[in-house]
């Protein structure tokens, strides 16, 4: 052990030390430990970065000395020396977070190249051009990343030199040209910094490490972390590694490989390489690389060694690996290995295959899949029978269908995408700086770059369809247009991408609903063997109920009855009921609604026969069923102005008066939920009759009916539940007596107000079950309106990390979660047999499900299409 507080030598680390050394640092250390050829290195720990952030950019006192000591040990081990004219050590300074963030942070290559070291480098590489090329690359990278010099400073100089020499490609420049370019670059850099440019490699090392620390907080890393829920507190490690050169000549190369296809999951070779190139050329998508297969011909020995190493690493990590390699003078070096990012479909296939191959147990396999990823599979695909001809083809870099209007920069994509417009981002190549655009785009189309470029890796990880390297397209970003097969598309024109085939189409194509394939089936079946939480669905009609059952729902946790009231054939009767002048009128209107409700329930109970169905009695404020106040006022005004039919005017005025009478400033906290039932007990009575009659009718027809659970919404006081329960029980008794039948049923309540959670012991006395309505509990618990907050301050709050996440998407653990905890404890304390569940949107959110598991609820309920995800997430919550 040679490590100090903040600096670890390559041989000090292993795979278990991710938190300290970052994923990259732990990965290279582990490879070294296993005897894989890795360039020698040392790692500055994440703690050093965290500590530096805590000190607002100032390094911990001992850090620089520790780095110098680490450097000296590295110099001793390699027999080389930083800045030495005879035997120069060249370094890469690489970022490496605990969780990989491909390309989001900065890396500096070729550090240590200088006027003094160029001759030795040229000699070692057997070629002078390579040495000067490395030098000018270094100045460019160091200048941009460390000193913040504008990229165009270098690009313009390079372009000018090429035109002076009358050549088109960088590769056409001679050693002498590049030597001149280095001089120009140095002068330009020094000018840009007002004379502060340094040529001292030790100084450069210090600044480079600091720049990598800082890159942890750069905007694209920030966007990436937010999109992936990675904490900003973790910091990055910095790997200082001896350079190996893939650009030394034709016996050198660099590339990226995956042990399985990250797009489909197929067990096959997947990778790309470039001869005579430095790694950045591949991962940054600057040059479109060659298929790894071809390396067998070009560099057979290194190829065989690489394949062997790939297999070993996959066996070792028991997971698909994404590896970076460089070959210098025929000798293979591995630069990175990590568990590869993959599409959802690939994740499922790999999990299935690895179980079949005996590499993983089922439980391990479940742990390899991200619950949120399953979401990606539940998106529509292009209808295979569309019969259209693609206008061009690129590489199928990330599968799925993307349809949208073309945009040519990430800012515009960000703007339009946020406004809800479907856009396809069309770029020459995408850089990590485009991440905010990629996040909201339907898909990405690039002219350059391969399947392993950072853009492709990120798109796959986010489930964003991507067609890369479509080299026939001609993009003119200034004119905001792209020409594809002679056809010009300007901003706003629609195109369709098929990321599974690489095909690009003009206009829109028909889509088909998502297919749940066999791999998916297996995974959720394994999940069912493991999970404790029950999974039900929220469904309001027979069709959704049937779909939910097909997707594995174990019942209905929330059947909202108001949707049934909204249907056009019953709205008139519902309005008559609301606007009734007396009980008789109301009873008459309700009698009209009853048979319609009954038939709705029959359909649902039939679809769910043998499983429980929780029916929630009427919940929304009544004005939702009436015309809008403003619209009705306008209507009356118009009639007044036009001196229209007097009788009609009278009628509309009367309606307006009633609408005004029912109008509330704050309907969310108004006359709704059980408060309606308290004012008009005829409503719960009618609904209860419809439920009982439907249950009996279905049993009669099918021999089996659903388990009836009647749920009273928005209870705040135990007394409310006590009285509403009495209405329900009396009505059920009446119905059953008339029918001469028996029926089991339960009565419970929603817990969706803080008062209900806090007095849950009192409420439990009258409840057979609690269903936590987390949508309203979030509104009332935090005091924010779901309808307004998301377009108001909430976005800002989430962006500024005042709140960790949007609490309507993922349950607020401490606050709303705290209320649920109190509700469960007090409820079960008073009545141990009380059944508890969740029926808000959070019932389908994996992180929320993990909390519900912790809190010991019996089930979650979510929309039908989320049922498979919830089944899976429930299993993950116990693993």
Q: Which does 254 bind (CB under 5 to 8 A by kind): ligand ADP, Mg ion, none?
A: ligand ADP
Q: Which does 252 bind (CB under 5 to 8 A by kind): Mg ion, ligand ADP, none?
A: none
Q: What is the Cα 845 distance to its own chain's centre?
A: 12
- Out of 109, 573, 659, 860, the residue judged to bind ligand ADP by CB under 6 A: 109
| Site pattern 614..653 for ligand ADP (x: CB under 6 A) | ----------------------------------------
Bridge partner list, 642: none
Bridge partner list, 297: none
Q: Give the integer Cα–Cα distance in Å for 409 and 754.
A: 46
- Out of 178, 209, 334, 335, the residue judged to bind ligand ADP by CB under 6 A: 335
Binding of ligand ADP at residue 39 (CB under 6 A)? yes
Binding of ligand ADP at residue 103 (CB under 6 A)? yes
**Is 674 one of the annotated active-site residues of the chain?**
no
| Site pattern 226..265 for ligand ADP (x: CB under 6 A) | ---------------xxxx---------x-----------
DSSP 774-829: HHHHHHHHHT--HHHHTTTHHHHHHHTTSSSS-TTTS--TTTHHHHHHHHHHHHHH
Q: Indicate which residue of 559, 839, 842, 862 is catalytic.
A: 839
Q: Indicate which residue of 414, 454, 623, 766 is catalytic.
A: 454
Binding of ligand ADP at residue 324 (CB under 6 A)? yes
**Residue that the structure tokens 């056809």 belong to:** 487
- Out of 92, 117, 431, 496, the residue judged to bind ligand ADP by CB under 6 A: 92
- Out of 18, 81, 94, 531, the residue judged to bind ligand ADP by CB under 6 A: 94
Q: Give the integer Cα–Cα distance in Å for 595 and 689.
A: 10
Q: C-beta of 551: minimal distance to Mg ion in Å?
A: 24
> Is the CB of residue 67 less than 8 Å from the CB of residue 206?
yes
- Out of 776, 812, 841, 853, the residue judged to bind Mg ion by CB under 5 A: 776
> Is the CB of residue 307 less than 8 Å from the CB of residue 325?
no
Instruction: Name the segment binding ligand ADP (CB under 6 A); options: 101-109, 224-232, 337-345, 473-481.
Output: 101-109
By rule CB under 6 A, what count of residues binds ligand ADP?
Answer: 20
Binding of ligand ADP at residue 336 (CB under 6 A)? yes
Instruction: Name the segment binding Mg ion (CB under 5 A); options: 145-153, 329-337, 444-452, 584-592.
Output: 329-337
Q: Which does 9 bind (CB under 5 to 8 A by kind): Mg ion, ligand ADP, none?
A: none
> Is the CB of residue 72 less than 8 Å from the CB of residue 101?
no
Q: Count of alpha carbons within 13 Å of 81, Cβ hemisphere only?
A: 6
| Site pattern 752..771 for Mg ion (x: CB under 5 A) | x-------------------
* Cα R_g (the chain), whole angstroms: 33
Instruction: Name the segment binding ligand ADP (CB under 6 A); options: 276-284, 389-397, 595-603, 870-878.
Output: 276-284
Structural tokens at position 64: 């620089």
Q: Give the integer Cα–Cα distance in Å for 13 and 750.
A: 53
The nearer residue to Mg ion, 24 or 81, going by C-beta atoms, is 24
Binding of ligand ADP at residue 407 (CB under 6 A)? no
Q: Give the integer Cα–Cα distance in Å for 443 and 463.
A: 9
> Is the CB of residue 321 less than 8 Å from the CB of residue 313?
yes
> Is the CB of residue 843 less than 8 Å from the CB of residue 849?
yes
Structural tokens at position 584: 């008789």
Residues 6 or more apart whose Cβ sits within 8 Å of residue 186: 139, 197, 199
Binding of Mg ion at residue 748 (CB under 5 A)? no
Instruction: Name the segment binding ligand ADP (CB under 6 A); options: 9-17, 279-287, 413-421, 642-650.
Output: 279-287
- Residues between 335 and 374 that touch Mg ion (CB under 5 A): 336
Question: Phi, psi (5° rounding) for residue 453?
Answer: -65, 160
**Is 839 one of the annotated active-site residues of the chain?**
yes
Binding of ligand ADP at residue 141 (CB under 6 A)? no
Judged by DSSP in three states, 429 sits in: coil
Structural tokens at position 519: 């791999």
Using alpha carbons only, give the angle 221, 60, 63 rounded to the nearest 5 degrees.
90
Q: Give the integer Cα–Cα distance in Å for 396 and 459.
A: 11
Judged by DSSP in three states, 443 sits in: strand
Binding of ligand ADP at residue 279 (CB under 6 A)? yes
Binding of ligand ADP at residue 145 (CB under 6 A)? no
Cβ-proximal residue to ligand ADP, closest one: 279
Q: C-beta of 787: minimal distance to Mg ion in Å?
A: 13
Q: Give the integer Cα–Cα distance in Å for 398 and 672.
A: 47
The nearer residue to ligand ADP, 277 or 346, going by C-beta atoms, is 277
Binding of ligand ADP at residue 133 (CB under 6 A)? no
Instruction: Name the segment binding ligand ADP (CB under 6 A); options: 102-110, 423-431, 688-696, 712-720.
Output: 102-110
Residues 549, 552, 557, 562: what is their CA dihedral angle, to the nearest 10 degrees? Answer: -40
Binding of ligand ADP at residue 598 (CB under 6 A)? no
Bridge partner list, 334: 325
Binding site for ligand ADP (CB under 6 A): 39, 92, 94-95, 102-103, 107, 109, 241-244, 254, 279-280, 283, 324, 326, 335-336
Residues lying near Mg ion in the complex (CB under 5 A)? 336, 752, 773, 776
**Residues taking part in catalysis:** 454, 839
């Amino acid at each position: 052990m040679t490590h100090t507080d903040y600096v670890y030598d390559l041989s000090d680390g292993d795979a278990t030390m991710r938190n300290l050394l970052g994923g990259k640092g732990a990965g290279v250390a582990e490879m070294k430990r296993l005897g894989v050829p890795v360039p020698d290195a040392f790692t500055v720990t994440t703690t050093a970065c965290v500590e530096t952030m805590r000190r607002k950019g100032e390094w911990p006192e001992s850090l620089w000395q520790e780095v110098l000591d680490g450097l000296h040990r590295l110099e001793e081990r390699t027999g080389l020396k930083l800045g030495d004219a005879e035997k120069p050590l060249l370094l890469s300074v690489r970022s490496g977070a605990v969780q990989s963030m491909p390309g989001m942070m900065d890396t500096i290559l070729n550090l240590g190249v200088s006027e003094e070291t160029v001759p030795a480098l040229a000699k070692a590489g057997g070629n002078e051009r390579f040495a000067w090329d490395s030098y000018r690359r270094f100045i460019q990278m160091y200048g941009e990343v460390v000193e913040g010099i504008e990229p165009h400073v270098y690009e313009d100089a390079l372009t000018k030199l090429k035109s002076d020499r009358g050549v088109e490609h960088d590769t056409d420049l001679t050693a002498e040209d590049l030597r001149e370019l280095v001089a120009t670059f140095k002068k330009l850099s020094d000018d840009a910094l007002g004379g502060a440019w340094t040529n001292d490699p030790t100084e450069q090392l210090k600044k480079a490490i600091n720049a990598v620390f800082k890159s942890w907080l750069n905007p694209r890393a920030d966007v990436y972390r937010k999109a992936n829920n990675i904490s900003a507190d973790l910091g990055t490690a910095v790997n200082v590694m001896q350079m190996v050169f893939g650009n030394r000549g034709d016996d050198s190369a660099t590339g990226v490989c995956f042990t399985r296809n990250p797009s489909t999951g197929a067990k096959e070779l997947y990778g790309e390489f470039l001869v005579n190139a430095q790694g950045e050329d591949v991962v940054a998508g600057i040059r479109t690389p060659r298929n790894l297969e071809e390396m067998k011909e070009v560099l057979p020995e290194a190829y065989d060694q690489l394949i062997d190493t790939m297999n070993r690493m996959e066996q070792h990590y028991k997971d698909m690996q994404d590896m970076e390699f460089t070959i210098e003078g025929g000798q293979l070096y591995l630069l990175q290995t990590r568990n590869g990012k993959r599409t959802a479909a690939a994740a499922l296939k790999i999990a299935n295959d690895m179980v079949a191959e005996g590499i993983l147990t089922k439980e391990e396999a479940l742990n390899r899949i991200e619950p949120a990823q399953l979401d990606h599979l539940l998106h529509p695909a292009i209808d295979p029978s569309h019969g259209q001809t693609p206008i061009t083809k690129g590489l199928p870099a990330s599968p799925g269908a993307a349809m949208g209007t073309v945009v040519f920069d990430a800012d515009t994509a960000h703007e339009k995408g946020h406004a809800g417009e479907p856009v396809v981002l069309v770029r020459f190549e995408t850089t990590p700086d485009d991440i905010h655009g990629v996040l909201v785009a339907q898909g990405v189309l690039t002219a350059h770059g391969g399947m392993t470029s950072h853009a492709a890796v990120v798109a796959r990880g986010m489930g964003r369809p991507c067609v890369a390297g479509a080299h026939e397209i001609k993009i003119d970003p200034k004119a905001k247009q792209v020409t594809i097969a002679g056809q010009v598309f300007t901003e706003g024109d629609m195109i369709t991408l098929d990321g599974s085939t690489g095909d690009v189409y003009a206009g829109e194509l028909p889509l088909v609903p998502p297919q749940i394939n066999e791999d998916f089936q297996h995974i959720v079946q394994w999940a069912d063997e493991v999970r404790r939480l029950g999974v039900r669905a929220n469904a309001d009609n027979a069709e959704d109920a049937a779909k939910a059952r097909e997707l594995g729902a174990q019942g209905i946790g929330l059947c909202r009855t108001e949707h049934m009231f909204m249907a056009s054939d019953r709205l008139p009767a519902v309005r008559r009921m609301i606007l009734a002048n007396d009980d008789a009128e109301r009873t008459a209107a309700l009698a009209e609604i009853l048979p319609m409700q009954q038939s709705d329930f029959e359909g649902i109970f039939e679809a769910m026969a043998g499983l429980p169905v929780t029916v929630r009695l009427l919940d929304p404020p009544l004005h939702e069923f009436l015309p809008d106040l403003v619209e009705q006022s306008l209507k009356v005004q118009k009639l007044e102005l036009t001196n229209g039919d007097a009788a009609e005017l009278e009628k509309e005025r009367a309606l307006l008066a009633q609408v005004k009478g029912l109008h509330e400033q704050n309907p969310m906290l108004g006359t709704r939920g059980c408060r309606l039932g308290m004012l008009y007990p005829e409503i719960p009575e009618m609904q209860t009759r419809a439920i009982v009659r439907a249950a009996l009718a279905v049993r009669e027809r099918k021999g089996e009916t659903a388990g009836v659970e009647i749920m009273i919404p928005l209870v705040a006081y135990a007394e409310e539940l006590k009285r509403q329960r009495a209405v329900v029980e009396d009505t059920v008794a009446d119905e059953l007596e008339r029918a001469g039948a028996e029926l089991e049923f339960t009565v419970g309540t929603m817990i969706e107000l803080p008062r209900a959670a806090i007095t849950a012991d009192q409420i439990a006395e009258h409840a057979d079950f609690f269903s936590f309505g987390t949508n309203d509990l979030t509104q009332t618990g935090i005091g924010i309106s779901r309808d307004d907050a998301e377009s108001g301050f909430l976005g800002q709050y989430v962006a500024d990390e005042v709140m960790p996440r949007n609490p309507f998407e993922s349950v607020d653990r401490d606050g709303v979660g705290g209320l649920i905890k109190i509700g469960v404890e007090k409820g079960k304390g008073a009545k141990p047999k009380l059944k508890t569940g969740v029926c808000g949107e959070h019932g389908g959110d994996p992180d929320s499900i993990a909390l519900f598991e912790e809190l010991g609820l019996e089930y979650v309920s979510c929309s039908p299409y989320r049922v498979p995800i919830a089944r899976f997430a429930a299993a993950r919550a116990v693993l």
